[in-house]
Amino acid sequence: MWNNAEVVALVDGQGFVRAISRNEEEAPIHDAIGHSLIEERVLEACKPAAREALDAALAGKEVRLEVGAIADDGHVFWSKVRLMPSPLPDLPVLLHTRRLPRSWDALSQREKDVIYALHEASMNPKRAAKQLGITLNTFNAHRRAISQKCDLRGVGEFWVFVERCR
């Protein structure tokens, strides 16, 4: 249905990848060691937030963000990224990223809000609808729209998709 590449990397103080672990067959970027992923791969619109997150991680904070990047084959993909301090002093940042499903970019911001609300409501649709200030019927309309845009067949695939977007 989609690839779900996960990457864990150690990054130096200038933002260059020095060590990496990933599931190779699904990684959208293969040549990463020694490169600045922020400067070379991150979309221009996401660079300020990525730089700010790197600075925060260097200052000892954990930061989560969503980042768009360019894959080796040129397509744009979106990932959930977590940057945090590393236990190694010469490689001060630990980066964990999980690629979002390819259809993530097709969703509107409100549809993404529905997915986020589901996560925050422990996957309970009634609580998620209440959190968003909408009725359960409106929530289900958003669910159907997400399923249609992402070519999800049935409620089961929808729940798997939502979990992959965590």
The three-state DSSP-derived secondary structure of 90-132 is: CCCEEEEEEECCHHHHHCCHHHHHHHHHHHHCCCCHHHHHHHH
The reply to whether 108 and 67 lie within a common domain is no
129 & 86 share domain: no
Predicted confidence band at 96 (pLDDT cuts at 50, 70, 90)? confident
The pLDDT tens digits for 12-53 are 989 999 998 877 666 778 788 899 978 989 999 999 999 999
What's the pLDDT tens digit per position in 98-150? 888 878 888 999 999 999 999 899 999 999 999 999 999 999 999 999 999 98
Number of domains in the chain: 2
- Which among 50, 77, 100 is the end of a domain? 100
CATH number of the domain within which 151 lies: 1.10.10
- Residues spanned by the domain of 29: 6-100
What CATH number is attached to the domain comprising 32? Answer: 3.30.450.20
pLDDT attached to residue 47: 94
Residues 58 and 83 in one domain: yes
> In this structure, is residue 127 part of a structural domain?
yes
In a domain, 1, yes or no: no
